């Protein structure tokens, strides 16, 4: 809390937050774009390799892992499209920007992933209930499958480490996807090898395990992004920082009536009501409110800030919710 207050003090004193220069921000943006491109190219190459492994093995678990890689390509397109859309503003059609494109794209992707998991479960159950549990690989097929799957897993693991070094939500979504691939590749390979050496039914069991993991992981992602789209309130410590900033903004601020921060995409919208002296000239009051708005919008978590000026705080709150 004290660190947050010190950050607000620095913003009040200097008028800006100490941080990256414009050149550093541009370099970071280029690095994030490169991470997305590398991930997309890797997904294409690794998908071809896993298609070959599926063809050589015939394993349902490895096929499930390969279908997941197919969705990686789809997700890559969705996330690239949202990133491109966010970088091409249109103030006439989208007057408040396109930051909501980011959680919306992740939401669509996660929903598709969960749907795929359900389809794999149904197919695996059908295989378990039938007499089609015969599964065998010769030595050459086994070597090919092990080599391809381990190579794919190693590349994905390196991509996880690389993408997790960024703070951009889209690049972090890629990191989560790469980590998910590491898990599915390992489980798929183990299931195929156990089915080959012990019993064929272990192959669809491994596929079901992968599918359950898929549904659980992406269902949590869906819930997280739904919360960011429906206007969930910010954490209390963040609201405390905003209140502290507003109170120390100007000596003429007599009261703070309301401080709200709620999600509207990946960033916050902020509403602040401050009380100024009733006899203060409009020009001076306007300048105080406008400078507070600009100060709030310098915070990296805030997309837009709205400052309402009042001369008393005993009235009912503005924009009261209707209970009808």
CA angle in degrees (0–180, nearest 5) for 279-283-288: 90
Could you tell me if 212 and 248 lie in one domain? Answer: no
In a domain, 316, yes or no: no
3-state helix, strand, coil in the chain (%, to 5): 65, 10, 25
In a domain, 284, yes or no: yes
The token pair at 186 is: 């390992």
Angle separating helix axes 60-86 and 22-57, nearest 10 degrees: 160
Could you tell me if 202 and 184 lie in one domain? Answer: yes
Number of Cβ within a 10 Å radius of residue 284: 13
In a domain, 2, yes or no: no
Could you tell me if 72 and 117 lie in one domain? Answer: yes
Domain with 276 in it: what CATH number? 3.30.70.1350
Task: Decide which of 167, 195, 228 is a domain's last residue.
Answer: 228
Task: Decide which of 197, 228, 259 is a domain's last residue.
Answer: 228
Domain ranges, residue 75: 16-228
Could you tell me if 283 and 214 lie in one domain? Answer: no
- How confident is the model at residue 47, as a pLDDT? 81
Could you tell me if 118 and 264 lie in one domain? Answer: no
Task: Decide which of 177, 193, 228 is a domain's last residue.
Answer: 228
Could you tell me if 195 and 80 lie in one domain? Answer: yes
In a domain, 136, yes or no: yes
Could you tell me if 31 and 180 lie in one domain? Answer: yes
In a domain, 7, yes or no: no
In a domain, 253, yes or no: yes
Could you tell me if 107 and 73 lie in one domain? Answer: yes
Could you tell me if 259 and 221 lie in one domain? Answer: no
Nearest Cα to 302, choosing from 255, 247, 274, 264?
264
- How confident is the model at residue 137, as a pLDDT? 65
- How confident is the model at residue 202, as a pLDDT? 76
E strand map for 96-190: none
C-alpha count within 13 angstroms, C-beta hemisphere, residue 214: 32
- Domain count along the chain: 2
In a domain, 53, yes or no: yes
For every one of its 324 residues, what pLDDT tens digit does the chain have, with 9 covering 90 and above?
677 767 777 776 666 565 555 666 677 677 777 887 888 788 788 788 878 777 776 666 777 777 777 776 776 677 677 767 767 777 777 766 666 777 777 777 777 777 777 877 887 788 777 765 555 666 777 777 788 888 888 988 898 888 888 777 777 777 887 887 888 778 777 877 777 777 767 777 877 887 787 778 777 777 877 877 787 888 888 899 899 889 888 899 999 988 999 987 778 899 999 999 999 999 999 999 999 999 898 888 888 899 999 988 776 666 556 554
Q: Write the burial class of residue 64 (CB in 10 Å: 0-12 exposed, 13-18 middle, 19+ buried).
A: buried
Could you tell me if 254 and 301 lie in one domain? Answer: yes
Q: Using one digit for the tens of pLDDT, what is the confidence trace for 258-315?
A: 899 998 777 889 999 999 999 999 999 999 999 999 989 888 888 889 999 998 877 6
Contact in structure between 142 and 196 (CB atoms under 8 Å): yes
Nearest Cα to 124, choosing from 193, 206, 68, 227?
206
Contact in structure between 5 and 237 (CB atoms under 8 Å): no
Could you tell me if 197 and 240 lie in one domain? Answer: no
Question: Is the CA virtual torsion 117, 123, 125, 128 positive or negative?
Answer: negative
> What is the residue-wise DSSP string for 219-284?
HHHHHHHHHHHTTPBPPHHHHHHHHHHHHTT-TT--EEEEEEEEESSSSEEEEEEEE--TTS-HHH
Question: Is the CA virtual torsion 148, 159, 177, 170 positive or negative?
Answer: negative
In a domain, 318, yes or no: no
Long-range contacts of 4-7 (CB under 8 A, 24+ apart): 4/237, 4/238, 4/240, 4/241, 4/244, 5/241, 5/244, 7/241
Nearest Cα to 180, choosing from 37, 36, 75?
75
Strands lying side by side in the sheet with 255-263: 255-263, 268-275, 302-310
Domain with 60 in it: what CATH number? 1.20.1510.10
Contacts of 38 (CB under 8 A, 6+ apart): 159, 162
Number of Cβ within a 10 Å radius of residue 57: 28
- How confident is the model at residue 53, as a pLDDT? 77
Could you tell me if 146 and 203 lie in one domain? Answer: yes
The distance of Cα 97 from the centroid of its chain, to the nearest Å, equals 18
């Amino acid at each position: 809390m004290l660190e947050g207050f010190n950050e607000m003090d620095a913003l009040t004193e200097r008028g800006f937050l100490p941080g990256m220069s414009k050149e550093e921000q541009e370099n970071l943006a280029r690095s994030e774009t490169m991470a997305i491109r590398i991930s997309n190219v890797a997904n294409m190459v690794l998908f071809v390799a896993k298609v070959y492994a599926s063809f050589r093995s015939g394993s349902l678990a490895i096929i499930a892992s390969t279908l997941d890689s197919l969705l990686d390509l789809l997700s890559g397109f969705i996330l690239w499209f949202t990133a491109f859309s966010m970088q091409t503003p249109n103030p006439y059609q989208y007057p408040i920007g396109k930051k909501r494109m980011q959680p919306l794209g992740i939401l669509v992707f996660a929903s598709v992933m969960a749907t795929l998991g359900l389809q794999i479960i149904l197919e695996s159950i059908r295989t378990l209930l039938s007499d089609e549990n015969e599964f065998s690989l010769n030595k050459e097929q086994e070597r090919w499958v092990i080599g391809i799957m381990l190579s794919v897993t190693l590349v994905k693991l390196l991509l996880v480490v690389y993408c997790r070094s960024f703070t951009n939500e889209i690049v972090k979504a890629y990191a989560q996807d790469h980590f998910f691939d590491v898990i599915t590749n390992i489980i798929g390979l183990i299931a195929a090898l156990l089915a080959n050496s012990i019993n064929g039914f272990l192959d669809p069991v491994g596929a079901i395990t992968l599918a359950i993991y898929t549904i659980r992981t992406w269902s949590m992602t869906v819930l997280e992004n739904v919360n960011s789209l429906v206007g969930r309130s910010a954490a209390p410590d963040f609201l405390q920082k905003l209140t502290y900033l507003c109170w120390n903004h100007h000596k003429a601020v007599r009261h703070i009536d309301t401080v709200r921060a709620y999600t509207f995409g990946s960033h916050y919208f902020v509403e602040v009501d401050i009380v100024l002296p009733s006899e203060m000239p409009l020009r001076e009051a306007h300048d105080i409110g406008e400078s507070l708005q600009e100060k709030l919008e310098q915070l990296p978590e805030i997309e837009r800030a709205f400052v309402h000026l009042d001369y008393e705080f005993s009235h009912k709150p503005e924009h009261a919710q209707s209970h009808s």
